[in-house]
Amino acid sequence: MSNLFSSFDPSVTLFRFSLNLNWISCFIILFILPQRYWLVRSQFLKRSEKLIVYLEGELLAIFRTSSYPGIIIIFLRFFFFLLGSNFLGLFPYIFTSTSHLSITLTISLPIWLGSIVWSIFYQYNSIFTHLVPLGTPNALIPVIVIIETVSNIIRPGTLAVRLAANIVAGHLLLTLLGSQGPNVSYILVLFIIISLLLLLALELAVACIQSYVFTVLRSLYLRELGTIRFRKTIV
């Protein structure tokens, strides 16, 4: 690596040309899990089914019975894509796509923007009344409206920054500790190896937690806007 942040660089030099080939790592998970993993009853498939059932129960508890058919599948895809990208980024020489805002914003922004536009056109009363909580004093209504508007606008940005910042912070710590090996004594090298193993275990937990948090928060924001009641509005 040329510097501390070179592991987050999506471009590579090939025949004197700088190409963004590192983004191909987003699709490596498709080659790691061939079709036979989903056809043969293996322990991997059983664990995957349990995870899917658990996540489906969590999302159904948020959306209840007013969700569109297929909305759960969309969020399950988000979760597994983020989980796979986070896990792959922990392997050496594999680019971590979720460490860039261009990926995290691409996931968080479209659904938020679509729900806002749909609410404005079909449920404008609901979205505007949501800006003023029940029982707010009249003198505080302008301030509350501004605060609620800003909080709704920054939601996709906070989701994207939270995910990217957690991934970048963990990778930087691993890089900093790993680069100290040649400069210390043998006793400290053993301490660094133990620290790296513990930090790697922590990063594995962060990869799972951040994928779950991103998926659940995105579904909560969508539910809070009231846009999951599309079917009732159209009917």
Per-residue pLDDT of 55-83, as tens digits, reads: 888 888 887 755 566 778 888 888 888 88
What integer pLDDT is reported at residue 143 of this predicted model? 84
Instruction: Choose between 19 and 106: higher pLDDT.
Output: 106
φ and ψ at residue 4, rounded to 5 degrees? -65, -30
Rounded to two decimals, the pTM is 0.79
Residues 182-205 have a mean pLDDT of: 84
The helix/strand/coil state of 13 is strand
How many angstroms separate the most distant Cα atoms in the chain? 72
Indicate whether 230 pLDDT > 50: no
Q: β-strand 17-19 against 12-14: which pairing, if any?
A: antiparallel
C-alpha dihedral, 35 to 38 to 39 to 42, nearest 10°: 120
pLDDT-based confidence at residue 209 (cuts at 50, 70, 90): very high
Looking at mean pLDDT, say which of 21-35, 40-54, 130-144, 205-219 comes out highest.
Answer: 205-219
Per-residue pLDDT of 126-169, as tens digits, reads: 677 777 777 777 787 788 888 888 888 888 888 899 998 898 88
Instruction: Choose between 230 and 180: higher pLDDT.
Output: 180
pLDDT-based confidence at residue 177 (cuts at 50, 70, 90): confident
